[in-house]
Every structure is written in C-alpha cells, then in structure tokens.
Amino acid sequence: MKPYTEIMIEPNKFVRFFSKDINEFDLKWHWDEEDRILLPLCKTDWYFQEDNEIPKLIDYNSSTEIKKGTYHRLIKGTTDLILIIIKS
C-alpha cells in the first residue's frame, strides 16, 4: 500500500497527497526508475533527503530534482504535503 494518494493530470504529471497523519515508518528509503521533479503546492515543514545527504526543507519557492536510481525519502512534517510530481 502506498503512503500517498495520487491523481494523474497529464501522462507524466501527477498531484500527490501525503497526510499529516501518516505513520512516519511508512515513508521508506526507496529509488525510482525515472528522473522526477517535485514541486510543492503550498508551504510545508516536510523534508526531502537523498542518501548520504543532510535533509533539506521542501521549499515552496523551488523544485527538487531526483535522478533515476537515487535513494531518497521524505521526512514527515506537521501539515499535509501536496506535490506536483513530473516524471521523465
């Protein structure tokens, strides 16, 4: 079971919702089979972390690029998280 709900808005573009009530243990380290760009739709206190890197706040004013095969995870905040995910 996925720790989010997702709606496709274009073939490679999705809106993804993570609840503030999610169990943080469901946010596991993983890697993806394609490059991705994360665009937050609102201010948040969630963090993004790549393997062997310091966690970075998901900044409402910028995008986060994830390269194919890069281990990463989200770190839960106190609010819901809503992202646009663009896969390539």
The proportion of the chain whose per-residue pLDDT surpasses 90, expressed as a percent, equals 97
pTM to 2 decimal places: 0.92
Find the domain containing 31 and state its range: 5-87
1 pLDDT band, cuts 50/70/90, is confident
Work out the average pLDDT over 46-62: 95
**Distance of alpha carbon 51 from alpha carbon 71, whole angstroms:** 5
* Domain CATH for 75: 2.60.120.10
**Domain total in the chain:** 1
Beta bridge partners of 47: 57, 75
Per-residue model confidence (pLDDT) at position 33: 95
Q: Which residues contact 17 (CB under 8 A, 6 or more apart)?
A: 4, 5, 6, 80, 81, 82
Residue 70 has pLDDT above 90, yes or no: yes
